[in-house]
Homo-oligomer: A and B are copies of this chain.
């Protein structure tokens, strides 16, 4: 079966790890809105989390970066920043630039500078990591999410997320480059030709939400013959991981499993999903969502381990197949 999954970084990566065990032909379409440039190096946190996770190279504790990572270069950059005024603004002290990670950034930046597309670069990185599933950036064009603060100023999403732990109240997101960005080669095809499309339990605003802003991707979700099902990243009124609540409140959406479903909306009403999985803890919202046209089920949605995650992926596909049968 051809499964196409839209996903962000850490949560998306873990979901893919479970999905991969089911043996389907999987294409992951990854958010690139978190990407940033540090010291001329192009860094793609979500793509790297996915590739490292699928390649068994990720730091299990952190969920991002490499297992056994060291920070020699970062510490040395900090020493420069502490003694040379011109170095200080170039070196974001809050950014965890690991030594092993840096090798990835150096190669990617070189390839991009040579005119290689991000999707080809990602394919080459996957060769090293034997991801087993296709990983495609949502777009080869540069997209960068900036966060609008209360005073109207903008800061890069990574600075808001990593440095400020999403604690600076945000009033919105400015997705620079999204307006002119095209889906990467294969993205629309992967959606149109899939048997099932899945929205991973990733951040609905700054991960899946960014992917949906790229011209043609939301339209493909609406047009595909495949059922589209999502898994709630919100369990019991809180994000399972990360700070999606800060993102949701910035766009005026409640941090609940059903509010996120309604934010995505049903395809029949111009939204992007048919089905929605909520956690058992949120089973009380199933009926109301069903009344609103969502195919909805409550299942365990905590990715404790690969088996639990595989069961979630299986439940999503099962929900989707039920929708196909019902047609």
Q: Assess A84 versus B124: contact at CB under 8 Å? Given A72-B70, A107-B77, A110-B90.
A: yes
Residue of B nearest to A40 (CB): B110
Give the size of the chain A interface in residues (CB under 8 angstroms): 33
Chain A 67-92 against B: per-residue CB contact (8 Å), 1 yes, 0 no? 00010110011011001111100110
The answer to whether the Cβ of A106 comes within 8 Å of any Cβ in the partner chain is yes
Residue of B nearest to A68 (CB): B72
Q: Assess A99 versus B73: contact at CB under 8 Å? Given A80-B107, A106-B39, A106-B40.
A: yes
* Distance A102 CA – B109 CA, assembled complex (angstroms): 15
* Distance A86 CA – B110 CA, assembled complex (angstroms): 11
Residue of B nearest to A86 (CB): B124
* Distance A79 CA – B41 CA, assembled complex (angstroms): 19
CB contacts (< 8 Å) of A76 on chain B: these are 99-100, 102-104
Contacting pair B128 A84 (CB below 8 A): yes
The answer to whether the Cβ of A321 comes within 8 Å of any Cβ in the partner chain is no
Chain A 102-125 against B: per-residue CB contact (8 Å), 1 yes, 0 no? 111011011101001000000011
Contacting pair B40 A103 (CB below 8 A): no
* Distance A84 CA – B125 CA, assembled complex (angstroms): 7
The answer to whether the Cβ of A324 comes within 8 Å of any Cβ in the partner chain is no
CB distance from A75 to the nearest CB of B (A): 8
CB contacts (< 8 Å) of A77 on chain B: these are 103, 106-107
The answer to whether the Cβ of A127 comes within 8 Å of any Cβ in the partner chain is yes
Contacting pair B40 A128 (CB below 8 A): no
CB contacts (< 8 Å) of A109 on chain B: these are 39-40
* Distance A124 CA – B91 CA, assembled complex (angstroms): 15
Residue of B nearest to A76 (CB): B103
Q: Assess A72 versus B99: contact at CB under 8 Å? Given A39-B107, A40-B113, A107-B80.
A: yes
CB contacts (< 8 Å) of A86 on chain B: these are 111, 116, 124
Q: Assess A84 versus B127: contact at CB under 8 Å? Given A72-B100, A100-B76.
A: yes
Chain A 161-202 against B: per-residue CB contact (8 Å), 1 yes, 0 no? 000000000000000000000000000000000000000000
* Distance A102 CA – B79 CA, assembled complex (angstroms): 13
Q: Which of B39, B102, B127 contacts A73 (CB 8 A)?
A: B102
CB contacts (< 8 Å) of A128 on chain B: these are 79-80, 83-84, 87
CB contacts (< 8 Å) of A80 on chain B: these are 103-104, 107, 128
Q: Which 8 A-B pairs have the closest CB atoms?
A: A76-B103, A72-B99, A83-B128, A77-B103, A39-B106, A76-B100, A84-B127, A39-B110
Interface residues of chain A, those whose CB is within 8 Å of chain B, are 39-41, 70, 72-73, 76-77, 79-80, 83-87, 90-91, 99-100, 102-104, 106-107, 109-111, 113, 116, 124-125, 127-128
**Subset of 17 A-B contacts with CB under 8 Å:** A39-B106, A39-B110, A40-B40, A41-B106, A70-B70, A70-B72, A72-B99, A73-B106, A76-B100, A76-B102, A76-B103, A77-B103, A77-B107, A80-B107, A84-B125, A87-B124, A91-B107
